[in-house]
């Protein structure tokens, strides 16, 4: 695929899908941008018009916005740290030759197939519930007061739930990456006198960098938009303690029925995502090249 004519043909062939994808992306984005500069409230549909940057200004002046921004980044960062660290540890365990390895792997992957609201419900009602939850039962077993997870620690609770959901994905990628590590490299390191920790530090971890990069990039995309888990559990509360940017946009659109402000929030979220993407690619994107 390197002659002039094959390159031309290749461009010609991919053009339709590129064009469709571009339209697919640009139309909703343009509409959101358009609404973000308009007064458009569903409760008073007859009052419309251009309002300039008012919708944006409202966001930046709202104290909830900065909290939501912090919470969003906290959620992304917290889940990434937990899933990458635990994912690598579990992957190392799963890579050991044990009986029933296949079943074990399926069990580890299973949480990934539970849809987010269901997962959140399970955690809220079966684990974190102050009367019926497993954690409460354990706490009482030790004679302690049950912890009010969703009331007192809303953000950590949400981070925990989301991390639980994404851990299998990270683990799966890491297990696959570990399997592609030649055992001779590890044996060579062993002969070279590397302890188990040093083998991990100098051989396994460098081997995993690309997998870690992939996990971080893919998860970030999805984590920036986490909504269902918050909606099912804390509803962004108590107060606004666990409100994230997507949840704040939802409140503007569905609760306050202010499409203009919601659209402005949407554009801010897109800009935030791009900033995050920029720094991620600058920081770790080079690991994607062979």
Partner 1 sequence: MGKIQLRQVRKSFGDVHVIPGIDLDIEDGEFVVFVGPSGCGKSTLLRLIAGLEDTTSGVIEIDGNDATHLPPAKRGLAMVFQSYALYPHMTVRKNIAFPLKMAGMSPEEQEKRVERAAKVLNLTNYLDRRPGQLSGGQRQRVAIGRAIVREPAAFLFDEPLSNLDAALRVGMRQEISELHQSLKTTMIYVTHDQVEAMTMADKIVVLNAGNIEQVGSPLTLYHTPKNIFVAGFIGSPRMNLIEGPEAAKHNAHTIGIRPEHIGVGDGPWEGVVGLSEHLGSDSFIKVDVPGLGVINVRAAGELNVHHGDRIKLAPTGKIHRFDDKGLAL
Site string for partner 1, 245-274 (x = CB under 8 A): ------------------------------
Q: How far apart are CA 234 and CA 71, in angstroms?
A: 13
CB of 207 to partner 1, least distance (A): 7
CB of 187 to partner 1, least distance (A): 5
If the CB atoms of residues 89 and 192 are measured against partner 1, the closer one turns out to be: 192
* Options 56-64, 185-193, 236-244, 251-259: segment touching partner 1 (CB under 8 A): 185-193
CB of 191 to partner 1, least distance (A): 5
Residues 66-105 that bind partner 1 (CB under 8 A): none
If the CB atoms of residues 54 and 198 are measured against partner 1, the closer one turns out to be: 198
Q: How far apart are CA 174 and CA 180, in angstroms?
A: 10
If the CB atoms of residues 207 and 257 are measured against partner 1, the closer one turns out to be: 207
| 3-state SS, one letter per residue, for 232-287 | HCCCCCCCCCCCCHHHHHHHHHHHCCEHHHHHHHHHHHHHHHHHHHHHHHHHHHHH
Locate 224 and state its tokens. Answer: 């920036």
Q: How far apart are CA 285 and CA 288, in angstroms?
A: 6
Locate 197 and state its tokens. Answer: 């920790």
# binding residues, partner 1 (CB under 8 A)? 18
**Selection from 203, 166, 167 nearest residue 89 by Cα:** 167
CB of 227 to partner 1, least distance (A): 39
CB of 154 to partner 1, least distance (A): 41
Q: How far apart are CA 72 and CA 81, in angstroms?
A: 14
Residues 164-183 that bind partner 1 (CB under 8 A): 182
8 A C-beta contact, residue 264 and residue 258: no
Residues 187-226 that bind partner 1 (CB under 8 A): 187-195, 198, 202-203, 206-207, 209
| Distance between start and end Cα atoms, the chain | 19
Residues forming the site for partner 1 (CB under 8 A): 182, 184-185, 187-195, 198, 202-203, 206-207, 209
């Amino acid at each position: 695929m390197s002659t002039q004519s094959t390159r031309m043909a290749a461009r010609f062939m991919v053009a339709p899908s590129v064009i469709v994808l571009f339209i697919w992306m640009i139309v909703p984005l343009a509409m959101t941008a358009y609404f973000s500069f308009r007064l458009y409230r569903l409760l008073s549909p007859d009052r419309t018009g251009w309002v300039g940057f008012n919708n944006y200004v409202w966001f930046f002046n709202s104290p909830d916005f900065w909290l939501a921004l912090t919470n969003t980044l906290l959620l992304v960062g917290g889940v990434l740290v937990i899933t990458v660290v635990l994912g690598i540890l579990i992957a190392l365990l799963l890579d050991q030759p044990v009986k029933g390895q296949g079943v074990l792997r399926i069990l580890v992957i299973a949480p990934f197939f539970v849809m987010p609201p269901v997962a959140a419900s399970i955690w809220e009602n079966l684990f974190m519930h102050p009367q019926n939850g497993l954690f409460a039962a354990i706490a009482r077993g030790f004679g302690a007061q049950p912890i009010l997870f969703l009331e007192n620690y809303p953000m950590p609770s949400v981070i925990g739930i989301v991390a639980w959901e994404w851990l299998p994905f990270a683990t799966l990628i890491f297990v696959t990456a570990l399997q592609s590590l030649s055992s001779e490299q590890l044996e060579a390191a062993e002969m070279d006198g590397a302890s188990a920790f040093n083998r991990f530090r100098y051989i396994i971890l460098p081997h995993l960098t690309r997998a870690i990069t992939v996990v971080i990039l893919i998860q970030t995309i999805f984590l920036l938009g986490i909504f269902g888990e918050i909606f099912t559990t804390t509803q962004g509360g108590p107060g606004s303690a666990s409100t994230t940017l997507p949840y704040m946009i939802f409140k503007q659109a569905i609760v306050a029925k202010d499409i203009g402000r919601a659209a402005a929030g949407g554009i801010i979220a897109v800009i935030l995502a791009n900033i995050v993407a920029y720094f991620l690619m600058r920081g770790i994107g080079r690991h994607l090249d062979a």
